[in-house]
């Protein structure tokens, strides 16, 4: 069954403005060139009469369109480009390994190209990314019994002072304080609706937000404040399990999530979020119904605000709350994403997977 699309005028306006909130919602075919693109493509925009819209890449390919070499629509937005993937797989397998410029050149990769990509997508250099990853690993080791000395040398540091200095700059505390501290590991998870930022402590998932959400920075700051923890790039068993469960959800194979959660908020917010989790898959409730269920029938606006402050999208299903008149109302990830999620749950529509065998273009 075809996924519902926004109206043509809305999609064309989003195309002209390169609106990132429509990533994953539609793809555009340009009749005059035979190319199809994602909404945020930076190529010159075609006239309205020269475009047609598709809900997924599969339908665009079936209509004879070729993927754009500028925006690479066959790749999820935020995915590692083809030329970088082998290096990142190596980093994942050996998080303590140091990669110098000479190591990159030996692998046929230009250091400046890697540096530019990481600055653009992570606001840090590749070397800064590696250092932060190593510190995250070191924190876990020291927290569970390894000495500062052996951890420093095992993670590639040649001096204790250099290790301690980098550790404190990254985490905000000295290595020997690790047993009484915690970090939030942050990693990207790719979905058909665009990349999401996942965060997890040792106890469970505390963050799942679309990376283009305007309140993302606010949510990250709130996490730091509530948990009294620093955020570092990395992963743990909870993020790995979340990734697996999200894949199953978007394929229409999972209706309930079992990943452990860590709720950070006021007592009222937590009460609202717990009630949200009782809305069955494929069903909706109004804000007024939610207010009644928490025993505060006059607190409709407060319930709506707590809904908007939810830091764990999809898993805590704030997308299942609609207006009393049945209309879709505010959603941090964008109303079109909300509609997509509800359509997926109500109709059981599996998302088309991208045909990897057709991918032969490199990404910058």
Catalytic residue among 41, 68, 71, 318: 318
Q: How far apart are CA 176 and CA 169, in angstroms?
A: 14
Cβ distance 70 to 42 under 8 Å? yes
Distance CA 264, CA 229 (A): 12
Euclidean distance between CA atoms 37 and 35, whole angstroms: 7
Pairwise CA distance, residues 291 & 177, whole Å: 43
CA-based nearest residue to 97, from 106, 87, 105, 109: 87
Q: In the annotation, is 318 catalytic? A: yes
Cα distances (Å, whole numbers) of residue 190 to 24, 209, 240? 11, 11, 12
Maximal C-alpha separation, the chain? 67
Instruction: Catalogue the active-site residues.
Output: 318
């Amino acid at each position: 069954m075809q996924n519902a699309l926004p109206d043509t005028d809305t999609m064309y306006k989003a195309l002209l403005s390169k609106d990132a909130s429509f990533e994953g919602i539609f793809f555009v075919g340009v009749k005059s060139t035979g190319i199809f693109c994602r909404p945020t493509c930076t190529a010159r925009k075609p006239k309205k009469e020269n475009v047609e819209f598709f809900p997924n890449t599969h339908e665009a390919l079936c209509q004879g369109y070729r993927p754009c070499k500028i925006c690479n629509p066959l790749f999820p937005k935020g995915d590692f480009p083809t030329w970088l993937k082998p290096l990142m797989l190596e980093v994942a397998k050996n998080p303590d390994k140091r990669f110098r410029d000479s190591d990159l050149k030996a692998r046929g990769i230009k250091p400046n190209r890697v540096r530019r990509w990481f600055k653009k997508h992570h606001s840090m250099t590749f070397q800064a990314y590696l250092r932060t990853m190593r510190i995250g690993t070191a924190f876990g080791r020291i927290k569970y019994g390894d000495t500062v000395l052996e951890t420093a040398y095992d993670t590639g540091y040649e001096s204790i002072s250099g290790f301690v200095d980098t550790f404190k700059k990254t985490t905000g505390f000295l290595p020997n304080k690790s047993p009484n501290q915690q970090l939030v590991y942050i990693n990207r998870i790719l979905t058909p609706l665009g990349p999401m930022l996942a965060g997890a402590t040792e106890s469970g998932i505390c963050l799942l937000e679309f990376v283009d959400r305007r309140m993302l920075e606010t949510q990250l700051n709130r996490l730091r404040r509530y948990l009294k923890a620093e955020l570092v790039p990395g992963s743990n068993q909870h993020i790995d399990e979340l990734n697996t469960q999200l894949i199953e959800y978007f394929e229409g194979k999972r209706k309930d999530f079992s990943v452990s959660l860590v709720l950070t908020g006021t007592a009222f917010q937590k009460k609202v979020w717990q009630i949200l989790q009782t809305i069955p898959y494929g069903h909706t409730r109004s804000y007024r119904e939610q207010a009644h269920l928490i025993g505060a029938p006059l607190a409709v606006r407060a319930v709506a605000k707590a809904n908007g402050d939810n830091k764990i999208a999809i898993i805590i299903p704030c997308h299942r709350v609609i207006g009393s008149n049945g209309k879709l109302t505010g959603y941090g990830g964008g109303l079109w994403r909300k509609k997509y999620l509800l359509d997926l749950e109500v109709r059981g529509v599996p998302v088309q997977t991208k045909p990897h065998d057709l991918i032969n273009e490199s990404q910058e």
